């Protein structure tokens, strides 16, 4: 039997309305955010959320980020705090996810939180995501729209290459501008904790707080970004390379000859936006990948984090 194919929706009024309507019927809809494409489901509908885990082939213990149209809705779901207020005021909408203690009457499917008593919340800045979330009017659970453990999607084409036929629709609004998943900050302890480096540089968060973030170093995996092999291309990846060897393809940074270059001018924002797309392209060449050294400041921390995971043995 032929597989049902995934509908591609345009980011106009009709496409956004259709995406919201599909979500309300319990279907899966991939949608653009400024970070990466998300695989959305109604976060109050356990059956819909279960479809996310099935489509991604995702281990059940990984909790999902809940996307909201605005910060006001967050207060109905979690116990808000002064620190949450500071960070939400400074960075929402935007590439920041906050982990907060759940309220008892939250209405979310327990599959979203994987049974934890905390939840990860994010208000994306992307205008099409904003329109879809406002049209839907409720919380949308959404991990990145890729099969579990594979490279994150920054275009609708990437989404379809991993999930065509397994999701109802993808709302296509071109490439993501940030290109790295959101930065995750845990607000369930006295000191805010950096749980995942991402599209908002740690320096910006610390400046807003006027204090350093704790680094998440304990053994427990509270974010799958912390599994060693995540964001993995099929090809082998070698880091901090000065030149390609043998049959390697070379991913450059700054002024140097390369098969693809994350940013010929050495701009980390541009490099972040290109990272997953370039990895997808090089992976398609079915040759080992060598990657130039990337500076560790600003967005470089998150870029290097994703590259280390792409290169990890598996």
Binding residues: 35, 58, 62, 67, 118, 122, 142, 144, 152, 182, 196, 231
Is the CB of 223 or the CB of 237 nearer to ligand TXA? 223
Rule CB under 6 A: say whether 261 interacts with ligand TXA.
Answer: no
Rule CB under 6 A: say whether 280 interacts with ligand TXA.
Answer: no
CA atoms within 13 A on the CB side of 227: 13
Q: Measured between alpha carbons, how far is 233 from 94 in angstroms, rounded to an integer? A: 27
Q: Which residues contact 85 (CB under 8 A, 6 or more apart)?
A: none
Report the partner that residue 130 touches, choosing among ligand TXA, Mg ion, none (CB closer than 5 to 8 A by kind). Answer: none
Rule CB under 6 A: say whether 138 interacts with ligand TXA.
Answer: no
Applying CB under 5 A, which part among 86-94, 139-147, 232-240, 259-267 lies near Mg ion?
139-147
Closest separation in Å from C-beta 143 to Mg ion: 5
Is the CB of 65 or the CB of 272 nearer to ligand TXA? 65
The alpha carbon of residue 271 and the mean position of all alpha carbons in its chain are separated, in whole angstroms, by 16
Rule CB under 5 A: say whether 144 interacts with Mg ion.
Answer: yes
Binding letters toward ligand TXA, positions 65-84, x by CB under 6 A:
x-------------------
Applying CB under 5 A, which part among 113-121, 140-148, 166-174, 296-304 lies near Mg ion?
140-148
Is the CB of 39 or the CB of 71 nearer to Mg ion? 39
Using CB under 6 A as the binding rule, the residues of this chain from 11 to 40 that contact ligand TXA are 33, 35-36, 38
The answer to whether the bond into 93 is cis (omega within 30° of 0) is: yes
Give the H or E element holding residue 51: helix 46-56
- The two tokens of residue 137 are 């009017």
Applying CB under 5 A, which part among 13-21, 48-56, 137-145, 215-223 lies near Mg ion?
137-145
Q: Measured between alpha carbons, how far is 22 from 3 in angstroms, rounded to an integer? A: 19
Closest separation in Å from C-beta 122 to ligand TXA: 6
Long-range Cβ contact pairs of 184-187 (< 8 A, separation 24 or more): 184/97, 184/98, 184/99, 184/120, 184/223, 184/225, 185/87, 185/96, 185/97, 185/98, 185/99, 185/213, 186/99, 186/118, 186/216, 186/222, 187/81, 187/83, 187/84, 187/87, 187/98, 187/99, 187/100
List the 249-252 sheet strands across, edge first. 237-238, 289-291, 249-252, 260-261
Closest separation in Å from C-beta 20 to ligand TXA: 17
The neighbour count for residue 24, using CB atoms within 10 Å, is 15
Residues binding ligand TXA (CB under 6 A): 33, 35-36, 38, 62-65, 97, 99, 113, 116, 118-120, 122, 142-144, 181-182, 184, 195-196, 222-225
Residues binding Mg ion (CB under 5 A): 144
């Amino acid at each position: 039997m032929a597989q049902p194919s995934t509908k591609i929706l345009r980011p106009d009024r009709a496409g956004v309305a259709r995406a919201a309507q599909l979500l309300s019927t319990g279907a899966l809809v991939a949608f653009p955010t400024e970070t990466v494409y998300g695989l959305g489901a109604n976060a109050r509908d356990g059956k819909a959320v279960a479809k996310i885990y099935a489509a991604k082939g995702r281990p059940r213990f990984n909790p999902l980020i809940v996307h909201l149209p605005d910060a006001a809705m967050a207060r109905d779901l979690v116990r808000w705090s002064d620190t949450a207020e500071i960070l939400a005021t400074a960075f929402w909408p935007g590439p920041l996810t906050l982990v907060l203690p759940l309220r008892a009457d939250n209405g979310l499917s327990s599959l979203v939180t994987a049974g934890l008593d905390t939840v990860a919340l994010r208000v994306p800045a992307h205008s099409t995501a904003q329109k879809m979330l406002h049209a839907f009017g409720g919380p949308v659970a959404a991990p990145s729209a890729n099969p579990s453990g594979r490279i994150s999607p920054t275009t609708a084409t990437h989404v379809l290459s991993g999930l065509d036929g397994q999701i109802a629709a993808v709302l296509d609004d071109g490439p993501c501008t940030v290109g790295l998943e959101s930065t995750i900050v845990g607000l369930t302890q006295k000191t805010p904790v950096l749980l995942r480096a991402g599209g908002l540089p740690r320096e910006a968060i610390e400046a807003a707080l006027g204090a350093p973030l704790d680094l998440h170093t304990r053994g427990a995996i509270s974010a799958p970004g912390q599994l060693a092999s995540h964001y993995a291309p099929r090809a082998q990846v070698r880091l901090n390379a000065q030149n390609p060897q043998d049959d390697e393809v070379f991913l450059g940074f700054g002024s140097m000859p390369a098969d693809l270059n994350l940013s010929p001018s050495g701009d980390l924002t541009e490099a972040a936006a290109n990272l997953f797309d370039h990895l997808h392209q090089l992976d398609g060449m079915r040759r080992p990948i060598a990657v130039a050294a990337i500076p560790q400041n600003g967005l470089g921390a998150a870029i290097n984090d994703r590259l280390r995971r792409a290169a990890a043995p598996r």
